[in-house]
C-alpha cells in the first residue's frame, strides 16, 4: 500500500505560515520552492528568499530581535567613539603606559629619598626627623605633580 503525504493547499499553507496565499503562489510559479506538504521547509525558504515582511511572524520577530541587537551594538560603538573623541575615554594601552610611566616616576622619587635622607637624619631627635620626612614627602608630591603633567597620551 502506498503512503501518500498529505499535501496542503496554498491557502492552508499560507494560513499556517502566517503569510499570504499570493506570496506562496508567486514562489511556486517562479520555481525552486519546497513541496507544499513541508511547512518547515517553507519557513526556511521564505527566510532565504522572501522579504522580512513576508516571513512568518515568529521569523519576523527573530529578525527584529537580531536587528535590535545589531543596532544596540552600533549605538554603543558610536557612543564609545564620541566619548573617545571628546577626551572622556582613552585606549587601555595608553592608560597602562601612562600608569607605568607614573609609577616609574614615583619609585624614582622614593629611591632618591631613601638614598638622600638617612645621612641627613643620623643623630637627629624624633621631632626633627618627623619634620624632615614631612618636608621630603611634600617635595616628592610637588615633583611628582610636575612630572605627571608631562605624561601625554
Helix ranges (H only) for the chain are: 10-17, 21-30, 39-49, 57-85, 92-121, 126-149
pTM of the predicted structure, to 2 decimals: 0.46
Domain boundaries, the chain: 10-83, 92-149
pLDDT digits (tens, 9 = 90+) for 83-129: 989 989 988 899 999 999 999 999 999 999 999 999 989 999 999 99
Dist. CA 94–CA 102, nearest whole Å? 12
Amino acid at each position: 500500500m502506498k503512503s501518500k503525504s498529505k499535501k496542503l493547499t496554498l491557502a492552508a499553507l499560507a494560513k499556517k505560515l502566517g503569510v499570504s496565499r499570493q506570496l506562496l503562489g508567486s514562489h511556486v510559479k517562479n520555481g525552486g520552492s519546497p513541496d507544499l506538504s513541508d511547512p518547515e521547509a517553507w519557513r526556511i525558504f521564505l527566510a532565504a528568499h522572501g522579504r522580512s515582511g513576508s516571513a512568518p511572524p515568529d521569523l519576523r520577530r527573530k529578525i527584529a530581535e537580531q536587528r535590535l541587537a545589531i543596532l544596540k551594538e552600533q549605538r554603543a560603538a558610536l557612543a564609545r567613539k564620541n566619548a573617545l573623541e571628546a577626551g572622556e575615554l582613552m585606549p587601555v594601552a595608553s592608560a597602562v603606559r601612562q600608569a607605568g610611566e607614573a609609577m616609574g616616576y614615583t619609585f624614582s622619587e622614593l629611591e632618591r629619598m631613601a638614598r638622600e635622607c638617612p645621612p641627613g637624619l643620623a643623630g637627629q631627635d624624633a621631632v626633627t626627623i618627623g619634620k624632615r620626612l614631612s618636608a621630603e614627602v611634600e617635595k616628592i608630591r610637588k615633583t611628582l605633580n610636575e612630572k605627571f603633567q608631562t605624561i601625554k597620551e
